Amino acid sequence: MSVAPSPVIETLVAGGGIGGLATALGLARKGKKVHVLERAPEFGEVGAGIQLAPNALSALDGLGVLEKVMEDAVFPERKVYIDAVTGQTIATISLGPEFVEHYGYPYIVTHRADLHAALLDGCRDSGLVTFETDTEVVSATNQPDGTVLVRTAEGEEYTAAAVIGADGLRSNLRKAIIDDELVPSRYVAYRGTVPTDVVGEDVTSSPAVLCWLGPNMHLIQYPLRGGKLYNNVAVFKSDAYSPDHDDWGTPEELDARFAACCETVRKAGQYLSRDIRWPMYDREPAQQWVDGNVALLGDAAHAMVQYLAQGGAQSLDDAVAMAEELNGTEDVTEAFARYQDRRLEHAGNIQRLARVAGELFHIEGIGRRMRNHTFQDHDATDYANLDWMFMPLDRAPRQRSYPA
């Protein structure tokens, strides 16, 4: 007795993080069926806060989940860069009415879990997205008939018309398209989220993103969930560099690196969780993300260091571009090629600039003083150097009001 072949999946997404779910939702809103495979036992997002610039909010608007995301978000009044040693302000970016008028969207900070939940709920509500967990995709191979054969670590096989690799920093699907390795940055992060009343009014009197910049270290702080929580991310360069060894990036190194900082920054050490360290990696910008009917997206395509706070935003921009290019066409190969043309160079430029921003954050000695002096007369409402990264493209904002 012959066995009927498995039905061909219209679009299979490997990875159920922010980028994968945003892509699934974008395609569902175009009427396409999507099957999402997630390696973890359940859907969820690791980490705490995420900064979302106007380009990200434009993408979320197009996906139909912006209102949901903004429910518990915080709308900072400004982003402030401060010398972590002296406590003196280096520069400020106003995120108030001038910013919103300029970009059509505000700048928000929110919990990663809240963003992920909004995307997941949107997928479920669509009725067109199906899910499997505990399923790690290990390969996706183009077939002569124009389909893609997908294999999992558990030995299962799927056949899909289109496969999107949103499987993160350590992507399995990237290996068949790009021959490269992760690039370790020598920096490690510690995170901690505490009730806002624990921190006190010295840094929470008005909502702001505080970026404390010091020699080979920095600290980011901002409120979350309507101001109820306060997010702290401490990043420092390890002298005992060996990212796969327990003696690298230790809490003792963290304290030693922050010892030269002002009292406010030193005090923030008590808000950090010491049991998990996050070694920081990125990738070299790639020359291609696509192979036939297989395409990469998000960190699988353009993993970047965090200094521009654009990793999540670029994944959302990828998702919208992908949905737009796949809409109304049966030629997946051509659609993926157009998606790559739209996104590859831009995301690569942000990868490169993120590294430069890290060098500027962490500069030592006379370089630190020169940096501070250079930015001392910066106009807080001059957004010219941010437009290429923040300005929403091809998506007009809906008319709405935002918190003052």
* 154, two tokens: 């558990």
At residue 400, the pLDDT reads 60
Q: Is residue 148 part of a domain?
A: yes
- Alpha-carbon distance values, 29 to 13, 26, 249, 279, 378 (Å): 15, 5, 44, 36, 42
Q: Average pLDDT over the chain, rounded to whole?
A: 93
CA-to-CA distance for 72 and 117, rounded, in angstroms? 12
How many Cα atoms within 13 Å fall on the side-chain side of residue 93? 16
Q: Is residue 329 part of a domain?
A: yes
Q: Is residue 231 part of a domain?
A: no
At residue 239, the pLDDT reads 85
Query: Average of pLDDT values for 76-98?
Result: 97
Q: Is residue 234 part of a domain?
A: no
pLDDT at residue 1 above 50? no
pLDDT at residue 4 above 50? no
At residue 42, the pLDDT reads 87
Query: Average of pLDDT values for 4-24?
Result: 91
**CATH number of 316's domain:** 3.50.50.60
Q: Is 146 exposed, middle or buried (0-12, 13-18, 19+ CB in 10 A)?
A: middle
Q: What are 206-216's pLDDT values in tens digits?
A: 799 999 999 99
CA-to-CA distance for 122 and 27, rounded, in angstroms? 11
At residue 244, the pLDDT reads 66
At residue 265, the pLDDT reads 96
pLDDT at residue 2 above 50? no
At residue 237, the pLDDT reads 94
Identify the sign of the CA torsion 71, 190, 281, 374. positive
Please give the tally of structural domains in the chain.
1
At residue 399, the pLDDT reads 52
CA-to-CA distance for 10 and 46, rounded, in angstroms? 29
With both helix axes pointing from N to C terminus, report the angle between 54-63 and 112-126 in degrees, rounded to the nearest 10. Answer: 20
Domain that holds residue 330: 11-181+283-390
Q: What are 238-255's pLDDT values in tens digits?
A: 987 666 677 788 999 999
Q: Is residue 275 part of a domain?
A: no
- Asked whether the beta carbons of 161 and 332 are under 8 A apart, the reply is yes
Which among 13, 11, 112 is positioned nearest to 69, based on CA atoms?
A: 112
pLDDT at residue 282 above 80? yes
For the whole model, what pTM was predicted? 0.94
3-state class of 343 per DSSP?
Answer: helix
Q: What are 182-206's pLDDT values in tens digits?
A: 999 889 999 999 999 888 765 556 7
Query: Average of pLDDT values for 262-280?
Result: 93
Q: Is residue 15 part of a domain?
A: yes
Query: Average of pLDDT values for 334-341?
Result: 98
Q: What are 356-398's pLDDT values in tens digits?
A: 999 999 999 999 999 999 998 999 999 999 999 999 976 555 5
Q: Is residue 267 part of a domain?
A: no
What is the strand order of the sheet 34-37 is part of?
129-132, 34-37, 11-14, 163-165, 294-296, 290-291
Q: Is residue 308 part of a domain?
A: yes
- Asked whether the beta carbons of 298 and 20 are under 8 A apart, the reply is yes
CA-to-CA distance for 329 and 161, rounded, in angstroms? 12
How many Cα atoms within 13 Å fall on the side-chain side of residue 241? 8
